[in-house]
Amino acid sequence: MKKIIKVANKDKGLRLDKWLKKNFSSLNQSFIEKNIRKKNIQVNNLKKVASYRLLDRDKVTILNYDEVNYKNLSSNKKYTIEKIFKELFKNSIIFESRNFIILDKWSGIATQGGSKIKTSIDHIIKNISSSYNLVHRLDKETSGLLIIAKNLKYTKLFGQMFKSHQIKKKYLAICQGRPKISESIMELNIPRKENTNLMHKTETYYKVLDYKNNLSQILFIPKTGRTHQLRIVSKKLGCPIVGDKKYNFQNKFKVEKLKLNAYEISFEIKGKNYIFSSLIPFDFKKFLQKNNLNIYK
């Protein structure tokens, strides 16, 4: 069954996947991305990506619509969240205002849900309020700063700010080996998640902060934000990140957690500057100290 929905003005600027979840709250991220990839979900009869930002009066067509999969559950529905995750979330908030939260995400929890993910940051925030939204993502094993919007107005605002590169992010990583050039900008084409035959152009500034025992502590400042961008860049530089099970094939530190931290985030809203820093995780600091590397300040 085919269903066509015209996008309302109030939803202008929302990502396609966020719009789908708003209208059909039963959908999870993996289902959405799979059906976008298979062209079951289109915008104006064209294939789009999950991150496509909708325009006023866009027409979303669902070619495989049915009332079983596409349901809008009661807004009062709450995910069951274990107490330990509630406490971890509460203790990881480093800033909170009326409009947004800055979370210092711990390693090991997914940002968004999926078919094999029982608990994610998205599950936790929806348990608090259906108005809360993620505005960007971190890999499951990456620790560090994450912005959560508390209403639709700030969801759109942060979305626009990310799109226009008004939000600056810095990452710290511990890598095996050392780049040939200690400070540079890496421009790299990365395969698109939804279609590996197409490429994303990425740009990343990096600088080696410290090097000892064949380990580099590297500062990364990405201009673009693509899935696994820094992990792929590190591998391309010849110094994969310690603990990276996907891109690091060296065995020396294979039991370590991923040593990648979203360390700093900064932006300006209504003339006010905001800058936040992550508390470096214990395992990250311990690894630095054990290998006589300096702690970045």
Mean pLDDT of the chain: 90
Catalytic residue among 58, 139, 210, 283: 139
Pairing of the two strands 143-149 and 260-269: parallel
Q: What is the mean pLDDT of residues 114-135?
A: 89
Predicted pLDDT at 25: 78
User: What's at 130, amino acid-wise?
Assistant: S
Query: Could you tell me the end-to-end alpha-carbon distance of the chain, in angstroms, rounded to an integer?
Result: 57
> What domains, with CATH codes, occur in the chain?
3-62 (3.10.290.10), 83-163 (3.30.2350.10), 168-290 (3.30.2350.10)
The three-class DSSP label of residue 219 is strand
Q: Are 44 and 187 in contact (CB under 8 A)?
A: no
Q: 148 pairs with which residues across the strands?
A: 101, 134
pTM, rounded to two decimals: 0.78
Residue 182 has pLDDT above 80, yes or no: yes
Q: What is the reported pLDDT for 194?
A: 59
Per residue in 36-69, pLDDT tens? 999 999 999 999 998 899 998 899 999 998 877 8
- 283 catalytic? Reply is no
Where do the DSSP E strands lie in the chain?
Answer: 3-6, 41-43, 59-62, 93-96, 100-105, 133-134, 143-149, 168-176, 183-191, 199-212, 215-222, 260-269, 272-277
Asked if the model's pLDDT at residue 77 lies above 70, the reply is no
Using one digit for the tens of pLDDT, what is the confidence trace for 242-263?
999 999 988 888 889 999 999 9
